[in-house]
Structure 1
Amino acid sequence: MFTPDTLEIAMVSFEGPDQYSQAGGLGVRAKEICRAFAAVGFRTTLYFVGDPGKPREEDVDGLRLVRICQSVSRQYPAGVYDGEHDKIEAMWSELPPLLVQISVQPSVAAGRVLAIMCEEWQTADFVETLDRNLRQLGLRDRCVILWNANNHFGFDNMDWRALERAATVTTVSRYMKHLMWPHGVNPMVIPNGIPVEALRPVDDAAVKVIAEAGHTPCLTFKIGRFSPDKRWHQSLDAIAELRDRGLPARLLMRGGIEHFGHGVLGHARQLGLDVAEWNEPIEEPADVARSLEQTGTAAVVNLRRFLPESVLPAISVAACAVLANSGHEPFGLVGLEAMAAGGVAVVGATGEEYARPYGNAIVVETAEGTELASALAGLVERPELSARLREAARRDAADFAWPEIIDGFLERMRYVAARQHVAV
């Protein structure tokens, strides 16, 4: 089996741990899997489109961060996907020699194999360039190259045959595997995970202050990109229906910068839901409580500022339910993280393979507000159901802790290395 003495890890991801670099689940995945590899002793480097104002190279808790495309990022200060295509072009020219210098040559000199894990469609052409460069340098048999799909973005414009020649294709769920079959690809499934810290008990005082500030037995929480896939409209329809029934349901929400967000908030107002825009910074659970308390009984509280990961567990437990009810979800980290904290996750029926309907979570099968409203009403009316789901959620989420996922990954690497004729 591969060990820190025989294997190094390099990941290439558009998103990363900087606030500038985070837009969705990809940034969380890149940060946490690399942190987990580093924590168990593997020399690990994460290459990502980072904050142009930070150092190009930095070591954080044993993980080496290498920020790429910084000269281009200075021209696009709004975030990682601002000027996306210019950054992709810069990555193609800048990254191959940089990765060889920082990761490939040192790992070869130390007698270790280098696993190069590339994420999402932005890196697909880079993988082909990297494969070619390594062959020219006579180093291809010392590197295992993997390319991972976290979503179906870009699938119709990719040269799948060239990608399969250059790398082993992976994805995050059987749902995604099935979406890739029509493209003639049969990827290996390596699921996402959560840090061990996500399983720690949540501070009861923080949970209490948020729950009490909600002034409702049906406080719900939703976080994610503003995309139709996330079923924002279903969430709002459910809140409106519950309020019409006399249950003062509320939705605490944090969306993205996508234009679809205007339609989401417009839909809320069409339903007669009062929307309170909260523009104050959120740094701790007390700030979340203040957003709920000072907006009175507003049906929707829209958090407009960055929401740190450190407050999410307390929100998840304080809420009646975390609405991760996507219609298309390749894996669903939000739901899994909510379960790990001890929250009730409401997920869709796509890639959320960790969820068992009414075993450890609630799984909605449709986009109808009535289905979601009925599920939320059941949680309010049956506290024992909520308690049972929360207990099972924490227990089952432990199976997806990163150390468990990494152990399986290392076993899969036996096959991948043999298939790519890498000398172990």
Structure 2
Amino acid sequence: MSLRIVRLANFVTPVSGGLRTALHHLGAGYLAAGHRPVLVVPGPQHRDEETDQGRVITLPGRRVPGMGGYRVLLDRPALADLLSVLRPDRLEVSDRTTLRWTGGWAGRHGVPAAMVSHESLDGVLRAWGLGESAARRTADRLNRGTARDYSAVICTTAWAAAEFHRIGARNVVRAPLGVDLERCHPRQRNAAARNHYARPGEVLLVLCSRLSTEKRPERALDAVAELRRRGVPAVLVVAGEGPLRARMEARVRAERLPVRLVGHIGSADALAALLASADAVLAPGPIETFGLAALEALACGTPVVVSASSALPQIVGDAGQTAADTGPGFADAVQRLLAGTESDRRHRARARAEQYGWDRAVAGFLAAHRIPQHVQGVMA
């Protein structure tokens, strides 16, 4: 039995990172399991194509000011009409804000629907400037509506699930994301990639992130400045785009920081080579619920320094270091990390990542959709 799994997502562009990666691998996994995945995303114009992750439909979406090219699906009648034509057997939604209404549509049409929690809602609200108590109250109100309107709320970590557990939601399902263990591999490490960014004896750090406020990318600049002040010959490569790029470039010039902002790296192999060739990867985002870029670094054999406020300490375990949310805090964690032997920290990184293959993630998401084992085809 083949099920049509329609997936809706906003904030996806050709240069976006973790969400786009997750959508691609989950869709490919559903397709391999014998289902018919359909992904609906916003874009500048209408497109409808068959891909290796199943059918992908792009609807015209409005550009969000100040968010580096992100678009959202705001035409509810057009999207509702498309859903009626597609007649999904399951609905999977990856936007907890502007697409929350689709849970009600699914309920009226008898379609089991799941909301995927890719972010901490109260964390996002705090990043947008709301006070802690107001953010919590607003998040709790919105999360109660989500839990009511969807058959399941899929959370990738216990950290992500916590804000639903605190309101007593009973339909929370845990399912991890994954990493491409073949493409992201220690063998991607090579001298040419490293020498392109760092001289002999320098400590090569990498930040792979969207350059937006909630990701706190400027904390990586704080960390490298502090390390240099301490006499550590650290250099930093920033891979990613976003609305903060111009401000970060101006600071790098003004302070003469040893930092290169290289933008979005379109080649998956080139990005893996950079991650594999670094001494450490920084993940300063305090509201990350999973951290795919950090997991890709681990799969490449490179340890990660992560924010103590995020879900990443659960993901990284003993394959990295947890840092206080300050520049000096990240500098401390980098120095603790480098105090160990290189072979040990690289072995720990790869071993940790091997617990998170995409096959496990796909099986977890299909189970969250309550698709019986005999329906899961090759995933059974």
CA shift, 1:68, in A, is 1.7
Partner residue, 1:354: 315
Partner residue, 1:328: 287
Whichever structure has more helix as a proportion of its residues is 1
Q: Which among 18, 29, 38 is matched to residue 45 of structure 1?
A: 38
Q: Which among 345, 351, 363 is matched to residue 304 of structure 2?
A: 345
What is the identity, as a one-letter code, of the residue corresponding to 1:166? D
Q: Mean Cα displacement is larger for which, 341-350 or 405-414?
A: 405-414
Give distance in 2, aligned partners of 1:251 and 1:341. Answer: 18
Retained in 2: the 8 A contact 1:49–1:67?
yes
Q: Which among 309, 313, 335 is matched to residue 377 of structure 1?
A: 335
Q: How many pairs were matched up?
A: 350
Residue by residue over 1:227-255, the C-alpha shift from the partner in whole angstroms, topping out at 9 and shown as x without a partner, is 44434343222212222333321111134
Residue by residue over 1:306-342, the C-alpha shift from the partner in whole angstroms, topping out at 9 and shown as x without a partner, is 5443321111111111111322211111111111121
Secondary structure, aligned partner of 1:123: coil
Partner residue, 1:287: none
Q: Which among 122, 135, 151 is matched to residue 98 of structure 2?
A: 122
Give distance in 2, aligned partners of 1:336 and 1:305. Answer: 18
Computed over aligned residues only, the root mean square deviation of the Cα atoms, in angstroms, reads 3.0
Give distance in 1, aligned partners of 2:19 and 2:239. Answer: 17
- 1:108-187 pair list within 5 angstroms: 114-120=89-95, 121-132=97-108, 134=109, 140=110, 143-151=111-119, 152=121, 153=124, 156=138, 159-167=142-150, 168-183=152-167, 185-186=169-170, 187=172
1:23 aligns with 2:16: yes
What is the identity, as a one-letter code, of the residue corresponding to 1:407? A
Secondary structure, aligned partner of 1:330: coil
Unaligned runs of 5+ in 2: 126-134, 374-380
CA shift, 1:196, in A, is 4.5
CA shift, 1:202, in A, is 3.4
What is the identity, as a one-letter code, of the residue corresponding to 2:3? L
CA shift, 1:125, in A, is 1.3
What is the identity, as a one-letter code, of the residue corresponding to 1:371? G
- 1:171-210 pair list within 5 angstroms: 171-183=155-167, 185-186=169-170, 187-200=172-185, 202-204=187-189, 207-210=190-193
Q: Which among 29, 32, 52 is matched to residue 61 of structure 1?
A: 52
Report the identity percentage: 23
Give distance in 1, aligned partners of 2:333 and 2:68. Answer: 37
Secondary structure, aligned partner of 1:9: strand
Q: Mean Cα displacement is larger for which, 162-171 or 246-255?
A: 162-171
Q: Which among 238, 244, 254 is matched to residue 223 of structure 2?
A: 238
CA shift, 1:380, in A, is 4.5
Give distance in 1, aligned partners of 2:35 and 2:292. Answer: 24
Partner residue, 2:25: 32
Normalised by the length of structure 2, the TM-score is: 0.81
